[in-house]
Structure 1
């Protein structure tokens, strides 16, 4: 047991060091997953997702390094890298909105709003095209900081999305209080609508509440045509998932966009 614990600790330290070195050696990339309009099926935006393809010891999936980056404090540098790269990549694609996940550690940083403003200025990326995604767990645990940060970020012109809705302590009260622009229904709920009546009813109720509050609804994790049709009929505004496209590098995204426009 002790040997296993020691091995896990050594692996964590090794990955921490790899992240630190990887940021210096440009080993990370940002890939993009399309977000489509539920009615027209046209691509209207993308979600930026970090990838680590050039790690000398072999590529690691995000699940294997994001948590370590958060606990070590390296998520600040990694998050800034993702935001800068994504704004740079998407700046010329003026018809697309950009969604970027923000970790709780970044959101806790009292200087975070200024860092976002710096990236927008340096990349010449219009604030109204940027949406920052945060999880409800952090918002509920830190309501005062969250209210302040959301207000400051909205003052910059950016939109705020509540990510992974349906996985935690979702309530109408805090949806109203925090005034999100968008809620993203998690794939663990949205992905059940084609075979689980209870999940379908919960999704339908969520969409009606969000619509009443003037929020855009995005359903994640769409994997088949039946899910796509059910969620569209239920009133989702945007859809995202492997049914439409896997995440892809920026060059592939440009080609994908040209094919759809062509």
Structure 2
């Protein structure tokens, strides 16, 4: 039930100075009489039961209400293939923005490659409808599957979000770093900023800054946390001067 669903927020920082510039909203389920249910368990359940679309809109609505307290902070939200398939999804989002007073330019909607590879024409149409609202569309988990930079141009994505597997591969040597740097350069040549996720160490953060990544996200900067914890970070701006924010 909805009262068992909690929304947590993972910090996103500017790669140049590690200051808080955004959050990603994530759902967490604490089942009565059972305890916390891992996302990799309850998300497939929501998908198979047909509830994933309702869950996605619920998360977005709650998060949009919350960022009203964090002026200047961007919000990233994952959207499911089912939401993309719904021709009325963009209307639902527009209505929610009106109700919550949300500026669409503060919102990034993240999608993975599965749906748009299988349904390219529908995906292009869905992305176009959403972009008309003024939101940013990001390709999530780039490098985890078969995505190419060509997809970014073909489907009109605004941002690339690099998968944690590419971030972790940097420990394998200079070749992996150079590959990542080339990927970032290609994305930026298309005018697309790049976010790297799964950053777990200072060494990774510094290397990603060197490759040209614009934004960083991962446990080094903060695990998904309650909104009141983001309140503290936002107020104190502990990201200033290159310090860890969490």
TM over 0.5: yes
**TM-score normalized by structure 2?**
0.93
Partner of 1:28: 5
Report SS of the residue matched to 1:94: coil
Q: 2:199 aligns with which of 219, 222, 225?
A: 222
How many residues are aligned here?
239
What SS does structure 2 have at the residue aligned with 1:117? helix
Query: Aligned partners of 1:202, 1:73: CA distance in 2, in Å?
Result: 39
User: Are the counterparts in 1 of residues 31 and 37 from structure 2 also a CA contact under 8 Å?
Assistant: no
Q: Which has the higher contact order (CA 8 A, sep 6+)?
A: 2
- How far does residue 54 in structure 1 lie from its aligned partner after superposition? 5.1
Runs ≥4 residues deviating over 4 A: none
Matched, 1:157 2:134: yes
In 2: Cα distance, 1:203 partner to 1:157 partner: 29
The structural deviation recorded for 1:112 is 0.8
Match of 2:169 in 1: 192
2:144 corresponds to: 167
Q: Contact 1:194 / 1:230 at 8 angstroms: preserved in 2? A: no
SS in 2 for 1:65: helix
Report the Cα distance in structure 2 between the residues aligned to 1:220 and 1:55, rounded to whole angstroms: 31
Partner of 1:207: 184
- In 2: Cα distance, 1:196 partner to 1:65 partner: 36
Query: Structure 1: any 5+ residue segments left out of the alignment?
Result: 1-21
What are the superposed Cα offsets for residues 210-259 of structure 1, whole Å, 9 maximum, x if unpaired?
Answer: 00000010000000011001000010000000111111011111012222
Give secondary structure in 2 for the equivalent of 1:32.
strand
| Maintained 8 Å contact 1:45/1:99 | yes
**Which entry has the higher C-alpha Rg, 1 or 2?**
1
Structure 2: which 5+ residue stretches go unaligned? 241-246
